[in-house]
């Protein structure tokens, strides 16, 4: 496995593991429900392959995903970079809104530490920017957690350029996590340049277009009835059909290299800069092992040109979220 550096000296494997799909019977379902035993074996196998970067969050489950990661890393903690996120308010296990308050940051970290079974979180993100709480308050509280030794690095998710600048004026921001892939490139316009100006590493979530870029989904019939992607705007009707052209281009490049679609989609992201570390989501060893090999795939100029022509910035049909979800990004 190759390694990269995000902001402020945070060293991680070039490919991370997004643990969200490992939820069983929780609030977010990708495909069939996860098998917790296989999920834990997937994390163990990833560690064996040299992957050090594992991503989870309070809201995945909620709570149960952090518990699963905590169980998986028992006795294997050394050398790992564990990232989790806070930023929502709960009524029991029901998410009732965003909450970026200092009080919620300090309360949330205690639960995250307990569920993960660790004494310090390597990278602690605000999951979504709270428009009702100044980012200075949120990041100031997170900086206090660094001083207290409860977290090592501060991250934000789906923050816009102005918020990034204000946050970085309060404390060092090591990573921004936002959606980025061949079918979601809007961050290239102003968010990614701002990150680079401020020395903030970039962690793309959904780097495989929520599975679309793998080529395994050619119609909605390929998704289980309760899969949340059935409501994804980009999976609907004419949008779905139009977006298949990106998949076809990825497949063509993959065939040239004897690689999988996933490897090519991830290799494209890695080629966008050494400060980029994608976290594809897994719940099975076979898909994780396949994607881990993306770090060894090098795309040439012809490959990059072909993918650029098929997937230019702004070229994907449909918004990446529904109306409610779009109100929570780029804040």
* Catalytic (active-site) positions: 60
SS3 16: coil
Asked if 143 contacts 171 with a C-beta cutoff of 8 angstroms, the reply is: yes
Q: H helices of the chain, where? A: 36-48, 64-72, 102-116, 135-147, 161-168, 191-198, 237-257, 261-270, 285-292, 301-310, 323-326
Q: Are residues 51 and 18 in contact, defined by beta-carbon separation less than 8 angstroms?
A: no
H or E element that contains 201: strand 201-205
Percent of the chain as helix, strand, coil, to the nearest 5: 45, 15, 40
Count H helices and E strands in the chain, helices first: 11, 11
Residue listed under structure tokens 């957690």: 145
Q: Can you read off the two tokens belonging to residue 305?
A: 């040109």
CB 211 within 8 A of CB 46: no
Question: Do 69 and 54 contact (CB within 8 A), yes or no?
Answer: yes
Q: What's the half-sphere exposure (Cβ side, CA atoms, 13 Å) at 11? A: 5
Residue closest to 268 by CA, chosen among 259, 36, 125:
259
């Amino acid at each position: 496995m190759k390694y990269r550096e995000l902001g402020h000296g945070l060293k991680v494997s070039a490919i991370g593991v997004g643990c969200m799909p490992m939820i069983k019977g929780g609030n977010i379902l990708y495909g069939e429900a996860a098998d917790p035993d296989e999920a834990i074996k997937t994390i163990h196998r990833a560690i064996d392959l040299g992957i050090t970067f594992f991503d989870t969050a309070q809201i995945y489950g909620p709570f149960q995903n952090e518990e699963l990661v905590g169980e998986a890393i028992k006795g294997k903690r050394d050398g790992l970079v564990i990232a989790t996120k806070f930023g929502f308010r709960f009524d029991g296990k029901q998410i009732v809104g965003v909450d970026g308050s200092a009080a919620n940051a300090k309360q949330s970290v205690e639960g995250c530490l307990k569920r993960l079974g660790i004494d310090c979180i390597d990278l602690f993100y605000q999951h979504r920017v709270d428009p009702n709480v100044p980012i200075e308050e949120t990041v100031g509280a997170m900086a206090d957690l660094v001083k207290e030794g409860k977290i090592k690095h501060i991250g934000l998710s789906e923050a816009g350029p102005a918020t990034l600048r204000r946050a970085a004026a309060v404390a060092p921001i090591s990573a921004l996590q936002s959606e980025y892939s061949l079918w979601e490139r809007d961050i290239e316009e102003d968010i990614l340049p701002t990150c680079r100006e401020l020395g903030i590493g970039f962690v793309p979530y959904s780097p495989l277009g929520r599975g679309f870029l793998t080529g395994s989904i050619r119609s909605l019939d390929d998704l289980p009835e309760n899969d949340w992607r059935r409501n994804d705007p980009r999976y609907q009707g004419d949008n779905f059909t139009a977006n298949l052209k990106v998949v076809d281009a990825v497949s063509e490049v993959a065939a040239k290299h004897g690689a999988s679609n996933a490897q090519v989609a991830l290799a494209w992201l890695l080629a966008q800069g050494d400060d980029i570390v994608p976290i594809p989501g897994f719940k099975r060893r076979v898909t994780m092992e396949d994607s881990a090999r993306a770090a060894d795939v090098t795309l040439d100029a012809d490959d990059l040109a072909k993918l650029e022509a098929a997937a230019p910035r702004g070229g994907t049909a449909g918004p990446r979220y529904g109306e409610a979800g779009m109100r929570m990004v780029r804040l």
